[in-house]
């Protein structure tokens, strides 16, 4: 089952396309990282998935074909927006009460136990909580709905390292123990590299890369060698992105190195998720500013230009 599936999806605000011709399928059972620069279309994609806005073109469905925004879809999705918006004058107990009354399914016992384990008194008002506590309350309200899909839009942006660690530990526990699929939008690449097993990269309103992290990393490698030969070598390989200094060339290559042996004078190593992500982002930016990028030779199911 795909927890999110989009076909030729587009969203326009006035004359500006926030998303354009996006085709995507995120299978269940993953913690999927949604990555891209500011203005790339990440929040728009998430808002479409949870039914907060309607597409201008194309279609988007969730949880195995349910129409995004439909009642059956909303019953299975929990959403935590950026900055963990809470009513500052309400206590934790009030927030649990309001959320229970607004949803058909809500596990009050789970929510109370979890806040107790976190040391957050039910009587404490949201406005008196730290940023980390507010994020944990928002996450608790979401998980107490017992969703199949948890959608998180930049939940780590305003948290300190310890609060980020605690927040992600809860998300990972829900994914592992309760079978919750997670789609997480974030700029914190180091954190995503540690927890994500699926990657969706958005740039300029288009899906650039989509696939399981393990497969994507296995399909790419980094070559380092003489700068004087980097341009020639780039023309012979499926290069995603190339950079060079006065003496050294650096190529992120997609393809099987066994089929294309490493040339003399060059070294090959594995690529990290951060390097892979930044390479595609830089290449998509270059394509936008100076015309189409060189064909990376990637599988069409993984890369869309």
The pLDDT value recorded for residue 296 is: 33
Residue tagged 């927006």 (tokens): 81
Tell me which of 191 and 148 has the higher pLDDT.
148
The pLDDT value recorded for residue 159 is: 83
Q: Say yes or no to pLDDT of 289 above 50.
A: no
Confidence of residue 60 (pLDDT cuts 50, 70, 90): very high
pLDDT digits (tens, 9 = 90+) for 132-176: 899 999 999 999 999 999 999 988 777 888 888 888 998 999 899
The pLDDT value recorded for residue 290 is: 41
Confidence of residue 286 (pLDDT cuts 50, 70, 90): low
Burial class of residue 143 (count of CB atoms within 10 Å of its CB; 0-12, 13-18, 19+): buried
pLDDT digits (tens, 9 = 90+) for 92-122: 999 999 999 999 889 999 999 999 999 999 9
The pLDDT value recorded for residue 266 is: 86
Tell me which of 229 and 49 has the higher pLDDT.
49
Q: Where are the domains of the chain?
A: 2-211, 219-290
What residues contact 67, with CB distance under 8 A and at least 6 apart? 61, 73
Percent of the chain predicted with pLDDT > 90: 53
Q: Say yes or no to pLDDT of 218 above 80.
A: yes
Burial class of residue 21 (count of CB atoms within 10 Å of its CB; 0-12, 13-18, 19+): middle
pTM of the model: 0.84
Q: Are 9 and 22 in contact (CB under 8 A)?
A: yes
Q: Say yes or no to pLDDT of 301 above 70.
A: no
Q: How far apart are the C-alpha atoms of 295 and 193, rounded to whole Å?
A: 26
Q: Tell me how long the chain is.
A: 305
How is domain 2-211 classified at the architecture level of CATH?
A: 3-Layer(aba) Sandwich (3.40)
Selected from 3.30.420, 1.25.40, 3.40.50, 3.30.70, the CATH number assigned to the domain covering 219-290 reads: 3.30.70
Mean pLDDT of 230-246: 80
* DSSP output for the chain: -EEEEEEEEEEEETTEEEEEEEEEEEESS-EEEEE--TTSSHHHHHHHHTTSS--SEEEEEETTTEETTSHHHHHTEEEE-TT----TTSBHHHHHHHHHHH-S---HHHHHHHHHHTT--TT-BGGGS-HHHHHHHHHHHHHTT--SEEEEESTTTT--HHHHHHHHHHHHHHHHHH--EEEEE-S-HHHHHHH-SEEEEEETTEEEEEEEHHHHHHTEEEEEEEHHHHHHHHHHTTEEEEEE-SSEEEEEEES-TTTSPPPTT-EEE---HHHHHHHHHHHHHHHHHHSPPPP----TTTB--
Confidence of residue 259 (pLDDT cuts 50, 70, 90): low
Tell me which of 261 and 9 has the higher pLDDT.
9
Percent of the chain predicted with pLDDT > 70: 91
What residues contact 198, with CB distance under 8 A and at least 6 apart? 26, 27, 30, 31, 32, 33, 211, 212, 213
Q: Say yes or no to pLDDT of 300 above 90.
A: no
Mean pLDDT of 185-210: 88
Confidence of residue 264 (pLDDT cuts 50, 70, 90): confident
The pLDDT value recorded for residue 4 is: 97
Select from 111, 257, 281 the least CA-distant residue to 189: 281
């Amino acid at each position: 089952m795909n927890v999110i599936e989009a076909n030729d999806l587009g969203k326009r605000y006035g004359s500006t396309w926030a998303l354009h011709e996006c085709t995507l399928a995120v299978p269940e059972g993953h913690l999927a990282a949604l990555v891209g620069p500011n203005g790339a279309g990440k929040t728009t994609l998430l808002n479409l998935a949870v039914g907060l806005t309607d597409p201008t073109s194309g279609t988007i469905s969730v949880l195995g074909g349910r129409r995004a925004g439909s009642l059956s879809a909303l019953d299975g999705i929990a959403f935590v927006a950026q900055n963990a918006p809470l009513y500052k004058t309400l206590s934790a107990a009030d927030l649990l009460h309001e959320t229970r009354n607004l949803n058909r399914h809500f596990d009050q016992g789970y929510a109370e136990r979890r806040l107790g384990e976190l040391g957050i008194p039910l009587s404490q008002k949201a406005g008196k909580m730290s940023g980390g506590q507010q994020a944990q309350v928002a996450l608790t309200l979401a998980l107490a709905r017992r969703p199949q899909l948890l959608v998180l839009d930049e939940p780590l942006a305003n948290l300190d390292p310890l609060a980020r660690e605690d927040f992600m530990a809860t998300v990972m526990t829900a994914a592992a123990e309760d079978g919750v699929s997670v789609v997480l939008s974030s700029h914190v690449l180091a954190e995503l590299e540690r927890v994500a097993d699926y990657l969706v990269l958005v740039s300029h309103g288009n899906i650039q890369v989509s696939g399981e992290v393990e497969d994507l990393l296995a399909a790419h490698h980094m070559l380092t060698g003489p700068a004087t030969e980097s341009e020639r070598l780039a023309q012979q390989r499926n290069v995603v992105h190339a950079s060079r200094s006065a003496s050294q060339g650096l190529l992120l290559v997609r393809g099987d190195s066994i089929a294309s042996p490493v040339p003399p004078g060059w070294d090959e190593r594995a690529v990290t998720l951060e390097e892979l992500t930044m390479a595609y982002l830089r290449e998509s930016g270059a394509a936008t500013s100076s015309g189409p990028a060189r064909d990376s030779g990637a599988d069409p199911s993984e890369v869309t230009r």
